[in-house]
């Protein structure tokens, strides 16, 4: 037994070194920056990567406030993981894919990292003294001048302090360029009244990806990230990399997300196309369609309707209830009107089609 273990350990060391070289070559440099505080997880990934030939998941870290998983990249894999995570409040999420199939496999690697350490509003005290490294502030300021010349640099100190109070570790281990993007996205969300979306094509390793930046002030409290991933999954848009945070500005939560995506066929999501316009409408609809509503769970998740159409059905229900209950409140309660729509989705779909024929555009 001892000899067998010794031979196996020697072989495992050789494989681990080979896998480490493969990871270095085929994972984004941003992945290693985002995992720079998880040396043990990276070591485990290199040592056990081949386990994904027989297992769907490999747990790299599982602690009270952090979960890191490696898995086979399959359509909807992120969405399925979030459904299993459940009601835990996610403060930070990072997803990253390899750019090639894993050794001895036909599938790419996917690594998912979740943190559950969301700050409460009362914890974000802007009067509190914090020491942000001067070198970091200087680098971020320089990046903002270069990438966003129209950015009002007088806002930098306040925005950076809010981000620091929410997740100091993230700012310490992230490159100045990414922090600059985060500051800019946070400012754009504020300037846009709490809802900002930007889509642009970027090149990485010789192929085009689409960067989707999304900022939401006071987003739905439960399963918001799950709802966003459901949109991407339903529209056939694959997430290659993503960095998402839910922070507090001291008054209410704020969602800041950067998604690097391609279509499931491997092509870019071209801004201005019908698919890009659908994505924009569906992402914005997440603000008014609750994941706990009957329309979402039975119409959207089941594939009967888009999120936009389901929210329109909810509006129909409210309109009909208001109109009918005004004259006969005892006969037309809200549940009666809801049941009429929920029990007959084909009629709801027909009404949506009539509505669009009349009002769109």
Is the Cβ–Cβ distance between 278 and 235 less than 8 Å? yes
pLDDT averaged over the chain? 89
Q: What are φ and ψ of residue 268, in 5° steps? A: -75, 155
Give 112's pLDDT tier (boundaries 50, 70, 90). very high
pLDDT, position 2: 53
**Rg over CA atoms, the chain:** 23
The H or E element that residue 190 is part of is helix 176-191
Whole-model pTM: value is: 0.85
Print burial letters for 161-196: b (CB count within 10 Å at least 16), e (below 16): bbbbbbbeebbeebebbbbbbbbbbbbbbbeeebbb
198 CB neighbour count, 10 Å cutoff: 14
Tens of pLDDT, residues 7-36: 555 557 888 888 999 999 999 888 999 999
**Long-range Cβ contacts of 162-165 (<8 Å, 24+ apart):** 162/124, 162/126, 162/186, 162/247, 162/249, 162/250, 163/247, 164/130, 164/132, 165/119, 165/123, 165/124, 165/125, 165/126, 165/128, 165/130
Task: Check pLDDT > 50 for residue 5.
Answer: no
Task: Check pLDDT > 90 for residue 317.
Answer: yes
């Amino acid at each position: 037994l001892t000899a067998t273990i010794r031979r196996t350990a020697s072989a495992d060391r050789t494989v681990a070194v080979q896998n480490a070289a493969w990871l270095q070559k085929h994972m984004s440099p941003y992945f290693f920056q985002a995992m720079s505080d998880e040396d043990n997880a990276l070591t485990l990934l290199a040592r056990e990567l081949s386990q994904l030939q027989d297992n769907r998941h490999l747990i790299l870290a599982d602690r009270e406030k952090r979960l890191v998983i490696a898995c086979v990249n399959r359509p909807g894999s992120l969405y399925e993981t979030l459904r299993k995570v459940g009601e835990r409040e996610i403060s930070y999420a990072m997803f990253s894919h390899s750019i090639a199939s894993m050794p001895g496999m036909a599938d790419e690697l996917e690594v998912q990292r979740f943190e559950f350490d969301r700050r409460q509003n009362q914890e974000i005290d802007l009067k509190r003294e914090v020491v942000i490294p001067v070198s970091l502030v200087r680098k971020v300021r320089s990046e903002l001048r270069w990438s966003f010349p129209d950015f009002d640099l007088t806002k930098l100190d306040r925005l950076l302090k809010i981000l620091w109070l929410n997740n100091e570790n993230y700012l310490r281990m992230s490159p100045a360029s990414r922090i600059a993007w985060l500051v800019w996205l946070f400012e754009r969300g504020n300037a846009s009244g709490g809802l900002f979306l930007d889509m642009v094509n970027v090149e990485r390793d010789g192929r085009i990806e689409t960067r989707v930046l999304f900022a939401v002030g006071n987003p739905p409290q439960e399963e918001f990230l799950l709802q966003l991933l459901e949109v991407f999954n339903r529209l056939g848009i694959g997430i290659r990399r993503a960095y998402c945070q839910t922070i507090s500005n001291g008054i209410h939560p704020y969602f800041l997300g950067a998604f690097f995506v391609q279509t499931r066929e491997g092509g870019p999501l071209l801004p201005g196309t019908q698919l890009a316009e659908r994505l924009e409408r569906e992402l914005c609809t997440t603000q008014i369609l609750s994941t706990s509503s009957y329309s979402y769970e039975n119409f959207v998740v089941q594939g009967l309707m888009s999120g936009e159409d389901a929210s329109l059905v909810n509006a129909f229900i409210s309109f009909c209830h208001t109109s009918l209950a005004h004259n006969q409140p005892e006969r037309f309660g809200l549940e009666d009107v809801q049941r009429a729509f929920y029990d007959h989705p084909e009629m709801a779909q027909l009404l949506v089609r009539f509505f669009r024929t009349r009002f769109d555009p």
